[in-house]
Chains A and B, each alone.
Chain A
Amino acid sequence: MGINQNVLGLVFASIHDEVIFDLTKNRTMGSVPFGGRYRLIDFPLSNFVNSGISQVGVITKSNYGSLLDHVGSGREWDLARKKGGLHLLPPYAHTSSTVYHGKLDALGNIWSFVEHSSAEYVVLTDCNVVTNIDYRKAVEAHIESGADITAVYAKGYYDQVTGSSATIFGIGGDGFVNDVMINPPMTGSCNLGLDMYIMSKDFLRRIVKESMSRNRNSLRRDILLDRSSKYKILAYEHTGYYSKIDSLAGYFAANLELLDTEKRDALFAKNAPIFTKTKDEAPVHFGLASHIKNSMIADGCIIEGKVENCVLFRGVRIGKGSVIRDSIITQDTVIGERCSIRNVITDKNVVIADERQLTGSAGYPLFIGKGAEI
């Protein structure tokens, strides 16, 4: 069987919602806007598709209206298929069940979907890591090693003050995990888990059933951290560019990192494009007095002012005489004339009147919520 029938991809769209709660107040982590024209879920979905995985389930929890709207039938990822394709899996309203508490609980709720898939292996991923990864190699490594679980990690940096939601691995000479820590009291270089796991369906079934009988809901706390379990966990290193979003400042920095040509080219690889829902916006119009430096700009924008070191999403308007620096301006934000804006994140549909001055700092960007009028 080819990978497209032998591997099932599962995306947890609602895990880590709490790390950027400003942006996830009305949406899932998966539908957080990113990189000018994307939503975070575009990265795992495109990675699956580019790795030949065409059976995909998206597990949601709450606030998934915008996610449903974005993902639709999965056509933009070529996942509107008769065989396999994309399945949205909102929490099932069993009369006996409540909204899930951990990944294993969530998997228990949707287990019949996993069971009915033809796949022998399952790749689990969250939406908090922006990267371009080929899962084929990771699945091969998992099969060859005979591991129970393969955890994808990358060389990274963890700061106990600002970091959150981090899984850090100790790795032995044999490539297997010999230590697991969650949010440890340390700062420094580490083997940072990317919240991507590969398992056989048989193994996953076993731990899901056990979790249901023992109320062990967390994959990390109840399986990875459980030293008594003696599960064989292979550490698979992802060496490509990635950014892990674990705070609003991290989200801000991850967007601005795309202004680095090398990182941008690595993320938007020509042979493995990132797919997203298209909006049919017209090209960007740069006006007579516009002045643009080092910025990434999505279609549909009309720019009359000055823009430096920014990521502008689709349909943004920037009026004459305005100066926007070091900011993330998301979809359909309208900025008037003669404004001065620096270190700001605007959520969708924000309207900023003429002559407004808004300033945040790089470590604590000023966040302006969806639809606000200033």
Chain B
Amino acid sequence: MNTKKEVVAMLLAGGQGSRLYALTKDMAKPAVPFGGKYRLIDFPLSNCTNSGIDTVGVLTQYQPLVLNDYIGNGQPWDLDKMNGGVHVLPPYESNSGASWYEGTANAIYQNISFIERYDPEYVVVLGGDHIYKMDYSKMVDYHKAQKADLTIAVLDVPRSEASRMGIMICDDEMRVTDFVEKPAEPKSTLASMGIYVFTWSKLKKYLIENENANTGSKDFGKDIIPSMLQNGERLFAYTFEGYWKDVGTLDSLWDANMDLLAPAEQLNLYDKSWRIYSRHSNFPPQYIGANAEIENSMITEGSVINGKVDFSVIFGGVTIEEGAKVQYSVVMPGTVIKAGAVVEYAIVGEDCVIEQNAHVGRSPEEYEGEARENWGIAVTGHKITVSEGMQVAPKQILSESI
């Protein structure tokens, strides 16, 4: 059987996501719920399917149970294929020994044989923690037109943010001349989105060289890209326009959820030509009770709302009792918020119970002036109970029940 694929995508899903703290205690970052009925990994997986890429390797390492279960056979993303489809690739033992994935480049290196099965011309390398809709096939076309060895997707960011990101310096033809991680004095505002298209023969060569050089980091940003630049390979930047958000921190995760409620919503989840797919839970439609009050919110199947919900994203199977109040918050699947409880400016994890009259988070209006430094969103991890009358302060991250 001819198994050749022009493009294979490799999705780096092994990271712990330590800056999401309690939310990634028991699950890898790409499995974190987002936007009412998705998990972060739905975005790159759906983008692959919508871009016509049907062969995806998902590199897992940290707490893979939830993620493996979620991906399953890949059917929700149409990635259950006779030839190709989605493959979960944990580290494995071979006759030369077993080793964990040591860095992003090493993770791909350890799966060279997976990629070679499909004899691809190009390999797309993706992260699992970004929210965006992107047609990778256009980027691959650009890569071909530029006769590039590596194309890096970039976003033109405000100068103030550039010093927090990996910055590409390009000539007039968009050929990358330099790459600097988090520059103090950014010479450009083109930030890497962590999306790469490699010509496979080149990538393979550099992966093997990097492995043999044993740099210790074995990382795309630290090793592969600098070596390719040094050797005068053809590196190009591909400018992406549209909504893109790194959700690597609790604040950015909350922000990205709130972005879905913004009037000029840039990320259109209702566009039928570019659906974001996800695995379903067979919930009945949501029910909004006779005394509920709902304003500017996103709510999904299986939820029962009898309380007040304002500027919030409510996931599947959530119960909000009469007399409870939820505002400017993200409430993940299966959570119950009981009568009299208040949840504001907070992220509440999966399957939590917020008991009667408990109070999670506070409004920033209560923290004017200097006190503002003490304000931030409150977070509870998964399967946590906040007992009756208990408080979770702003900026507090709860990883045990109270």
Contact = CB atoms under 8 A, between A and B. Distances in A.
Given A274-B282, A275-B282, A300-B270, A293 B288 contact: yes
Interface string B269-288: 11000011110101011111
A124 to B, nearest CB: 25
Contacts of A264: 284, 287
B391 to A, nearest CB: 28
B164 to A, nearest CB: 30
Interface stretch (A104-112, A134-142, A284-292, A339-347): A284-292
Interface in A30-47: 35-37
B36 interface: yes
A72 to B, nearest CB: 12
B284 A282 contact: no
B296 interface: yes
B290 to A, nearest CB: 4
A297 B285 contact: yes
A297 B301 CA distance: 8
Nearest to A307: B288
Given A280-B275, A286-B294, A295 B287 contact: yes
A318 interface: no
Given A274-B282, A283-B298, A299 B287 contact: no
A301 to B, nearest CB: 9
A7 interface: no
- Size band of the B side of the interface? 35 or more
A298 B285 contact: yes
A229 B282 CA distance: 45
A128 to B, nearest CB: 20
B290 A294 contact: yes
Contact of A283 (B36, B76, B289): B36
A259 B290 CA distance: 10
B296 A273 contact: no
Contact of B299 (A35, A276, A281, A284): A284
Nearest to B277: A280
Contact of B294 (A37, A273, A292, A296): A292
Nearest to B263: A288
Nearest to A273: B282
B350 to A, nearest CB: 16
Contacts of A287: 296
Nearest to A36: B285
A32 to B, nearest CB: 16
A18 to B, nearest CB: 28
A296 B287 contact: yes
Interface string B125-151: 000000000000000000000000000
A286 B298 contact: yes
A36 B287 CA distance: 10
Q: DSSP majority for the B interface?
A: loop
B300 interface: yes
A296 B286 contact: yes
B270 A284 contact: no
A274 B292 contact: no
A278 interface: yes
A367 interface: no
Contact of B300 (A274, A278, A299): A299
Interface in B252-270: 261, 263, 269-270
B185 interface: no
A213 interface: no
A30 B282 CA distance: 19
A312 B299 CA distance: 14
Nearest to B285: A36
B292 A292 contact: yes
Interface in B286-328: 286-292, 294-301, 304, 313-314
B284 A268 contact: yes
B270 A282 contact: yes
Contacts of B286: 284, 296-298
B218 interface: no
A288 B296 contact: yes
Contacts of A261: 287, 304
B35 interface: yes
B37 interface: yes
A170 B384 CA distance: 55
A302 interface: yes
Contacts of A297: 285-288
A312 B288 CA distance: 11
B35 A283 contact: yes
A111 B275 CA distance: 42
Interface centre among A264, A276, A282 (most CB of B within 10 A): A282
Contact of A278 (B263, B280, B288, B313): B280
B297 A302 contact: no
A240 to B, nearest CB: 16
Interface string A253-278: 00000010100100110000111101
Interface string A59-88: 000000000000000010000000000000
A329 to B, nearest CB: 12
Interface in B210-244: none
Contacts of A312: 285
Given A298-B301, A299-B37, A302-B270, A282 B276 contact: yes
Contacts of B282: 273-276
A238 B289 CA distance: 29
B288 A37 contact: no
A272 B301 CA distance: 17
Interface centre among B285, B290, B298, B314 (most CB of A within 10 A): B285
Contacts of B295: 286, 288, 290
B121 to A, nearest CB: 30
Contacts of B37: 282-283, 299
A259 B300 CA distance: 16
Contacts of B288: 292-297
A157 B298 CA distance: 41
Contacts of B263: 288
A288 B293 CA distance: 11
Nearest to B265: A285
B321 to A, nearest CB: 12
Given A280-B276, A283-B314, 5 more contacts: A75-B75, A282-B270, A286-B294, A293-B292, A295-B287
27 contacts: A35-B285, A37-B301, A261-B304, A264-B287, A268-B284, A275-B282, A278-B280, A280-B76, A280-B277, A280-B278, A282-B35, A283-B37, A283-B300, A284-B286, A284-B298, A286-B296, A288-B295, A288-B296, A292-B288, A292-B294, A293-B290, A293-B292, A294-B288, A294-B289, A296-B284, A297-B286, A298-B286
